[in-house]
Amino acid sequence: MKKKFFQLSTVLIVVVLISALFLVGGKGKKEAPEGAAPEETVMRVGSQKERAEALAKKYAGVTVTILTEGIAAGPPKAFAPQFEEATGVKIKVIESPYVETMSRPLVEHEAGTGAIDIYRIVPDWVPDFAAAGVIQSIDDLVKKYMTEEDLADIEPGYMLATMFYEGEYWGMLMDGDIFILYYRADIFEDPEAMKRFKAKYGYELAPPKNWEQYNQIGQFITDFTKGKVYGGAGNRAPGQAYYWFNQLFRGAGGRFFDPETMKPTINGEIGRQTMEQLVKELEFGPPGMVNWGTAELWSGFVDGTVAMQFSWPPSGRFAEAASGLANYPTWLPPTKVAGKIKYALLPGPFKGEGPPGAGMMGNGFWTLSSDTKNREAVFAYMMWMNSAEMALKTSLFPNSLMDPYRISQFAAPEYKAAWPNAHLYLETLREAGKYALVPTKVLGGTEFDEIVDVAVTSVMGGMPIQAALDEAAKKMEEVVNRLGKDRVKASYKDLLKMQDEIRKLQY
Amino acid sequence: MGEDRLIAERRGKPWALILRKSGRYIALILAVLFFLFPIFWIAVTAIKQPGQYYNYPPIWFPKRPTFVHFKAVRTTGIGGYTALKNSFIITSCSTVAVMLLGTLAAYAMARFNTGGRNLAFWVLSQRMLPPIAIVFPLFLMMRIIHWIDTYQVMILFYTTFNLPFVIWMLRSYFVEVPVDVEESALVDGCTRIGALFRVVLPMVMPGVIATAVFAYIFAWTEFLFAVIFSRTRVVTVPVALGTYFGTEGQLWGEAGVMAVLSMVPIFVIGLAVQRHFARGLTLGSVKG
Amino acid sequence: MTAKGALLSRTNTYVSSPPEMRWRAKTQSWVRRHEGWLMVAPSMALMLAVGIFPLVFSLGISFIRWEPKIPGRPFVGLANFRDILTSLEYWIAMRSTAIIVGSGVTIEFFFGLGLALLMVGKVRGKRYFMALLMLPVMMVPVVVGYTWRILWHPAYGPINQILGWFVGHRVTISWLTNTKTALFALIVTEFWQWTPFMFLVLLAGLTAVNPELAEAAAIDGASRWQTFWRITIPVIRPVIMVAILIRTIEALKLFDIVFVITHGGPGLSTQSIAFYLYRTGARYFRMSHTAAGSWVFLVVVAVIISMAVRQFQKE
């Protein structure tokens, strides 16, 4: 017995050492395999959709596989037959729980399976995935196959905020997830409410220009309706709370780091004010709001329980149960507020004047896997779904969570006719592009977002604000040091650069 | 029950008997209420009208139940019924396999003390490493033999993962059985394996059933490996359910339907195997 | 097999028999001498085939720094282990896990035993009771998580509502946003889901107990209590030990309900080890760190379990 164990352990140690050596060898970033397209003049005539189909036809018989979150899989699945018929390229959709869309790509890449061609991710993950070699840039493909017009149709703020990394195109925006304010116009325009509000606060009852006004309006509405309608609500549940933090923090000009020293500045004045604001909103918010996630938020909103909310654009659509946008989500209560909703840009500063802020939060973003065997065919599909016609169809798809991001979508007559105030909705969303806040698209972005999330839920759980923020800052610093200060600094500077580019749109 | 009567009668306290009897049922009913309440909740969720999930006060039963979710499940995501089928195939095969292998091993370890404490502990230790640590290497292995997204790989995994549990559980039940009965069977001309299957197993049927039921349950409800190793072909119920809860919406109705449907097989099996737990005072099968 | 054949094979007829019979007898005797190992072999082979490479791999990468976001995979010796051992977050997670598992398994055991005792023997409607009591274990963990998350919801959940009935006024405890109550909620959920496991396993063990033993004891004048302690418990001792052992080992890998119900929150105060490892591995891609963390956990668990097993087997 003893001898057997001795032998076994020797074998074990040897194998451990061998595998350690094997791994020390390391694997560099995978070079993207060249597409197999023969030399031809690239088609420049026709719409983006037509050109995409022409490109894809060259690869008929190939299968393109896309990994996407289950809830967002509707459009790719629905339009797959149409694409197959037009081009002969088959589409396979793998649906997965949201969290797996983050870890799965890495597993597939490190195992070198090449089984998945498109990863539907959020822009925040691009630097991490790029560093890990999981995805590849599509810059050369965009420049080769897409025209100025194709790209000009994408609202510039949206594009600048999401599609670029290190000066190159890294993915196709498919979903214009931007935060704006949705409010109950019937309450805001109620004469009695307006009178009393003006009397109390001295300014007109209107969408807030800063967060102090937001609080005043929120508290007022809760009191005015005697608690039947709560002034405002937002998500505080773990997993999404950081979006609300980021909206406030970045909108007020907050920065995660000092760009030169890379010292975290999240625990400074703006961070503190952000947390205080998040806590303050609980005062006039519905009971139990501290547990709220998106499902509760949207349910409360369409139910009429909440007067102001800011989150993703589908909430505005679903509140109208617009009959051009068929099928209502099955988990949402019937809307009681159709026709009563108006839209506004979210305040930027906490007090006083300043530009509004519109966070780009978790946009559906298609990226190209590094291990794909059919670069051009896959890109053709991405280009096709991104085209103006398909983008419009996708956003009008029943139950769709895909929101407009192309100028043609914002101006589309079908969309504008979907409900009486639809044109206001589209205008506000489009306008928001000018004030878009770049998501946490840096190396280590996922970790920073989670650190923020943890800080928020800690505060919600009773931790003192400054302590939670200091803790967050400390953790961020550890991450920066671990990943390499220079590398994170470079990606952070890139983020700030894009933010500056967006700011130029305001003039 | 008979012993109660014996004792109660002996001590001249008939009311003790009634108290004990009703007390037992009261306790059981309370227990059932507690354990069933969340199941009731999710089952009702399956028939709630859309949007009745977040209500104050909470809705215990919808005034107008709807069955729309049962249909919706077919087309949502990967297809709920397909997932049920996949789960059923994978779970059944792996349970049969693990019970076969496990019974043999457990018997040997119980009767002959094969491998002694070391083997027993080694078997147990297979389950101690957090699954996340072995997902990637297993993925590498399965990729090489092209078994990703196949039935085989899931059956292989669930069989392997359940072995430590099955072996340890059965071993403990086997140990309970006195050796004499087997010995007499062997003397009568039975092989070892024959004795195992024909004599010993029937005596520990309750234990075997319980173990098989849990092996089934563990395989049925496993999530991590199911989600990593399936793409489109062998999506199981837990994975399908995972896709119902997303960032911008939660398909409660569908989830309720799937939750209920996925409990049906085990409930049926549970009812079917009751007789093995019906041992009462009337007859013990171990006679001399 | 005939009686004669059996007799022949069991007695040593090696010397005076023809060659084929000798060879057969040799094989048979070899089989018989090793029947234990032969019966164990298929299981072992499977566990080895599936288990050995991952084990070695994960141990191997814990000595290097493999993190896809950072280029290179340098050998770092024990640095990962040092990081784990000095990580406050890791040990807080360990503590949360210990609290949940320790309390959980303990109450599960006692309630499971109680329920099993209630169900031994003739019980009216037994089959329904049993089938119903098994349902919680049958529920997929994700669904258990989301269902209990709604149950614990301060405004939309029936738990506060029911409590309100007893107390007389509205109860608005926010269970999941306070560390202590969140841990409590997790323990209750765990208990709810797994007591049926204890129940069934112990019931199976109790059912196998020879009822005549209890009868004899009763006739001899032993009280129910004495019978229970002196006879029933010792007989099902192996079953008890295994039930607790197995349940503990599985419970230590607690993940799904933490992920869904509290997500480690508030902050990271209810994070379990499995959740921590999931975050560092699947979210942050820190492969080596996760491997090291897994192995430290394995060692801790192995030490505790082996101590427990030794304790049990001593008597």
B27 and B61 part of one domain:
yes
Phi, then psi, of B191 in degrees rounded to 5: -80, 170
- C50/B177 touch (CB, cutoff 8 Å), yes or no: no
Tell whether the model's pLDDT for residue B8 goes beyond 60.
no
The stretches of C209-251 forming alpha helices (DSSP H) are 211-219, 224-226, 233-251
Tell whether the model's pLDDT for residue C31 goes beyond 60.
yes
Is residue C241 within 8 Å of C282, Cβ to Cβ?
Answer: no
Out of A329-333, A400-404, B76-80, C67-71, the most confident range is C67-71
- B246/A296 touch (CB, cutoff 8 Å), yes or no: no
Nearest CA in chain B to A92: B232
β-sheet bridge partners, residue B246: B249
User: Can you read off the two tokens belonging to residue A342?
Assistant: 């108006």
Q: What is the mean pLDDT of residues A376-397?
A: 93
pLDDT tens profile B211-238: 998 999 999 999 999 999 999 899 999 9
- Note the ipTM here: 0.88
Residue C124 placed within a domain = yes
Out of A5-14, A53-62, B112-121, the most confident range is A53-62
C198 and C247 part of one domain:
yes
Residue C194 placed within a domain = yes
B58-72, B102-116, B119-133, B194-208: the lowest-pLDDT one: B194-208
- A331/B250 touch (CB, cutoff 8 Å), yes or no: yes
Residue B7 placed within a domain = yes
User: Can you read off the two tokens belonging to residue A166?
Assistant: 């290190």
- B277/C298 touch (CB, cutoff 8 Å), yes or no: no
User: Can you read off the two tokens belonging to residue B276?
Assistant: 């093995």
Chains that touch A (3 or more CB pairs under 8 A): B, C
pLDDT tens profile A46-84: 889 999 999 999 999 999 999 999 888 888 999 999 999
Taking one residue from B and the other from C, the number of pairs with CB-CB distance under 8 angstroms is: 327
Q: What is the mean pLDDT of residues C151-165?
A: 91
Is residue C293 within 8 Å of C233, Cβ to Cβ?
Answer: no
**Domains A48-173+365-401 and A180-360+440-504 are alike in CATH topology:** yes
**Smallest Cβ distance to A26: which of C59, C72, C279?**
C72
Over pLDDT 70: what percentage of chain A? 91
Each domain of chain A, given as residue ranges in start order, spans: 48-173+365-401, 180-360+440-504
Assign C58 to helix, strand or coil. Answer: helix
A434-438, C4-8, C143-147: the lowest-pLDDT one: C4-8
Residue C69 placed within a domain = no
Is residue C270 within 8 Å of C186, Cβ to Cβ?
Answer: yes
pLDDT tens profile B85-114: 999 999 999 999 999 999 999 999 998 888
Amino acid identity, residue B2?
G
Is residue A89 within 8 Å of A63, Cβ to Cβ?
Answer: yes
Mutate to test the interface with B, among C8, C35, C39, C226 (most CBs of B within 10 A): C39
Look at residue A24 in the predicted model and tell me its pLDDT.
44
Contact residues on chain C for A297, CB-CB shorter than 8 A: none
**CATH at residue B98:** 1.10.3720.10
Q: What is the mean pLDDT of residues B266-288?
A: 56
Contact residues on chain C for A16, CB-CB shorter than 8 A: 56, 59-60, 63
Tell whether the model's pLDDT for residue B149 goes beyond 60.
yes
Mutate to test the interface with C, among A454, A465, A481, A486 (most CBs of C within 10 A): A454
Tell whether the model's pLDDT for residue B2 goes beyond 80.
no
**Smallest Cβ distance to C153: which of A12, A288, A468?**
A288
Nearest CA in chain C to B127: C249
Over pLDDT 90: what percentage of chain B? 38
What CA–CA distance (Å, rounded) separates C49 from B257?
Answer: 38
User: Can you read off the two tokens belonging to residue A82?
Assistant: 């149409």
pLDDT bin (cut points 50, 70, 90) of residue B285 is very low
Whether B233 and chain A come into contact, CB under 8 Å, resolves to no
Cβ neighbors of B76 (< 8 A, separation 6 or more) are: B244, B251, B254
Nearest CA in chain B to A294: B248
CA dist list (Å): A455 to A239, A450, C259 = 12, 8, 17
pLDDT tens profile A288-339: 899 999 999 999 999 899 999 999 999 999 898 864 444 678 788 888 998 9
CATH number of the domain at A180-360+440-504, please? 3.40.190.10
B216 and B106 part of one domain:
yes
Contact residues on chain B for A300, CB-CB shorter than 8 A: 54
Amino acid identity, residue A195?
K
Look at residue A174 in the predicted model and tell me its pLDDT.
94
What CA–CA distance (Å, rounded) separates A129 from A140?
Answer: 19
Q: What is the mean pLDDT of residues C231-258?
A: 88
- A288/C267 touch (CB, cutoff 8 Å), yes or no: no
Average pLDDT score over chain C: 86
pLDDT bin (cut points 50, 70, 90) of residue B23 is confident
C29 and C158 part of one domain:
no
**Smallest Cβ distance to A484: which of C70, C265, C282?**
C70
Amino acid identity, residue B198?
R
Residue C191 exposed, middle or buried by CB count within 10 Å (0-12, 13-18, 19+)? buried
Mark C200-235 as b/e (b = at least 16 C-beta within 10 Å): bbbbbbbbbbbbeebbebbeeebebeebeeebbeeb
Look at residue A285 in the predicted model and tell me its pLDDT.
94
C159 and C247 part of one domain:
yes
pLDDT tens profile A257-284: 999 999 999 999 999 999 999 999 999 9
Look at residue A178 in the predicted model and tell me its pLDDT.
95
* Domain housing B92: 79-277
pLDDT tens profile C250-278: 999 999 999 999 999 899 999 999 999 99
**Alpha-carbon torsion C82, C85, C88, C89, what sign?**
positive
Domain boundary pick from C33, C52, C71:
C52
Give the DSSP letter of residue A367.
E
Tell whether the model's pLDDT for residue B27 goes beyond 90.
no
Mutate to test the interface with B, among C11, C50, C190 (most CBs of B within 10 A): C50
User: Can you read off the two tokens belonging to residue B218?
Assistant: 């563990």
**Smallest Cβ distance to A287: which of C72, C155, C263?**
C155
Mark A334-345 as b/e (b = at least 16 C-beta within 10 Å): ebebbebbbbbb
**Smallest Cβ distance to B243: which of A70, A111, A303?**
A70
pLDDT bin (cut points 50, 70, 90) of residue A467 is very high
B100 and B229 part of one domain:
yes
What CA–CA distance (Å, rounded) separates A70 from B76?
Answer: 9
What CA–CA distance (Å, rounded) separates B47 from B70?
Answer: 9
pLDDT bin (cut points 50, 70, 90) of residue A401 is confident
B189 and B59 part of one domain:
no
* Domain housing C153: 83-314
Taking one residue from A and the other from B, the number of pairs with CB-CB distance under 8 angstroms is: 105
Residue C58 placed within a domain = no
Tell whether the model's pLDDT for residue A425 goes beyond 80.
yes
Phi, then psi, of A457 in degrees rounded to 5: -70, -30
Which one of 3.20.20.140, 3.30.360.10, 3.40.190.10, 1.10.760.10 gives the CATH number of domain A48-173+365-401?
3.40.190.10
Look at residue A282 in the predicted model and tell me its pLDDT.
95
Look at residue A409 in the predicted model and tell me its pLDDT.
94
Look at residue A16 in the predicted model and tell me its pLDDT.
58
3-state helix/strand/coil string of A298-331: HHHHHCCCEEEEEECCHHHHHHHCCHHHCCCCCC
Q: What is the mean pLDDT of residues C287-308?
A: 93
β-sheet bridge partners, residue A344: A181
User: Can you read off the two tokens belonging to residue A32?
Assistant: 């993207």
B193 and B231 part of one domain:
yes
Q: Which string of DSSP letters, residue by residue, matches A24-78? A: HT---PPPPPPP-PPS-PPP-SS-HHHHHHHHHHTTTT-EEEEEEEGGG-HHHHH
* Domains held by chain C: number: 2
pLDDT tens profile A127-147: 999 999 999 999 999 999 999
B140 and B264 part of one domain:
yes
What CA–CA distance (Å, rounded) separates A309 from A315?
Answer: 9
Q: Alpha carbon B54 to chain centroid distance?
A: 31
Contact residues on chain C for B238, CB-CB shorter than 8 A: 140-142
Look at residue C182 in the predicted model and tell me its pLDDT.
95
Contact residues on chain A for C60, CB-CB shorter than 8 A: 15-17, 19-20, 23
